[in-house]
Amino acid sequence: MKYLETRHERNSAKITGLTVLIIGLLLFVVGAPYKEIPEEYGVAVNFVEPSEITDNKTLDNPIKLDSQTEEIEEEVSPEQELEDEQIEEVAEETSEDEVEDNYEVKAQEKLAQEIEEQKAIEKAAREEAVKLKDARQEAAREEAQKQKAAEELLEQKEKEALRTKEAEEKAEAERIEKERKEKERKEKIEAKRLADTKAKEEREAEAERERARKAEAEQIAKAKAEKTAKEKADREARAEAERLAKAKVAREAKERADKAAAAKAAKAESDRKAAAAKKNKSGGSDVVGFALIEEAPIYPGCEGLSNDARKQCMSTKVKQFVSSNFNGDLASNLGLTGNQKITIYFKISKTGQIVDIRAKAGDPKLEEEAKRVTKLLPKLKPGIQQGKPVTVPYSIPIRFKAKQ
């Protein structure tokens, strides 16, 4: 098993180590309390290291002092020995006082150092406690964040599960609704099929009855028609005989009338030709027909052509002009349908002007429209007969189909 892989585990290990260290420091600080130097016997008790005492230059090795004292005792006199003993006592007292003072100073310095060390330890302990607190707070925050993340993940999973459940319920409801609609559709189709079948059977039965009635009616009608046809044939035979008789009489009368009309027309033509010849001899007429004129009027754009070509060109140009300027919706607006015909009559004067405009159509408004358009025709070069300008009558039929 692996440890200290996650940040939380590493922080927990750090916190545990700091806790053990702080406890050890606290045990060291809160140990046996410091005791003041006892003065029961007028001497200072040494609470410092022996090495510190031996460092004092006023103290020598006790063994060495005894040997020197023995040597001195061997050399001096008793008086001198007494004096020396007094001096040694004074020196010992002085040395003991100096040593005692030195012990007290060092003890106070040691105490002050220990107090400073204790303060430093306490400060370090407080700092470690603050660090421990911060680490615990950081761990708590991380734990809270993990807890929050876990709760959010759980909430998200719950929401996702809820959405999944709702989607499944919706899909199930849709499936049930689809099955219901499909069932209703099939039922409607089946009902329609049955109704259609029944209606078809009824129609077939009705058709059979109708055929029977029709056959009977046809037989009756056939018999009646045969009778009527026979009667009609008899009547027609009689009528044909009468018609043939009347036709014969009418034909004979028509033949006589045609002969008389032909004779009359021949005489009129002869008279017309004689009058025309007489007019030509007397100087010519001011009006010459479009078909008989020597030089036809010239429509703009028809110059440089032969007489017959000029006539054909003029007819084409006039038809195009009228067709392009005529109101094609007028006939349909008037309620007319099918093919329509308008005949336009006018004269080309000796000066080439369009005069005496007339029109003939199925409605007066069509005639007015034809006159309006004809008045818009451009000026022509007049027709020439025997070298002189003459008036030329002209007519042209315009055919068109009324718009639906």
DSSP at 241? H
pLDDT tens for residues 102-155?
767 777 787 888 888 888 888 888 888 888 888 888 888 888 898 898 889 999
326 Cβ contact partners less than 8 Å away, ≥ 6 residues apart = 369, 370, 373, 398, 400
* pLDDT top residue among 365 and 34: 365
**pLDDT > 70 in the chain, percent:** 75
pLDDT for the residue numbered 286: 84
Residue 304 in tokens: 């440089």
pLDDT for the residue numbered 41: 46
Confidence of residue 34 (pLDDT cuts 50, 70, 90): low
All structural domains of the chain with their residue ranges: 7-156, 284-401
Instruction: Look over the chain and give the mean of its residue pLDDT values, rounded to a whole number.
Output: 79
* pLDDT top residue among 228 and 347: 347
* Most confident by average pLDDT, 86-100, 129-143, 359-373: 359-373
> Residue 72 above 50 pLDDT?
no
Average pLDDT over residues 224-247: 83
- In 263-391, which ranges are E strands? 339-348, 354-360, 383-385, 388-390
Fold of 284-401: 3.30.1150
pLDDT for the residue numbered 378: 92
Backbone angles phi, psi at 202, to 5 degrees: -65, -40
The model's pTM is 0.33
Q: To which H or E segment does residue 395 belong?
A: strand 392-401
Confidence of residue 67 (pLDDT cuts 50, 70, 90): very low
pLDDT tens for residues 262-315?
777 677 656 655 555 555 544 456 889 988 899 999 999 998 899 999 999 999
Query: What's at 92, amino acid-wise?
Result: E
301 Cβ contact partners less than 8 Å away, ≥ 6 residues apart = 313, 317
**What are residue 400's DSSP bridge partners?**
340
Question: How would DSSP label each residue in 168-236?
Answer: HHHHHHHHHHHHHHHHHHHHHHHHHHHHHHHHHHHHHHHHHHHHHHHHHHHHHHHHHHHHHHHHHHHHH
Average pLDDT over residues 13-37: 77
What own/partner pairs with CB < 8 Å and gap ≥ 24 does 6-10 have? 7/142, 8/139, 8/142, 8/143, 8/146
Confidence of residue 175 (pLDDT cuts 50, 70, 90): very high
8-39 residues labelled b (16+ CB within 10 A) or e (exposed): eeebeebbeebeeebeeeeeeeeeeeeeeeee
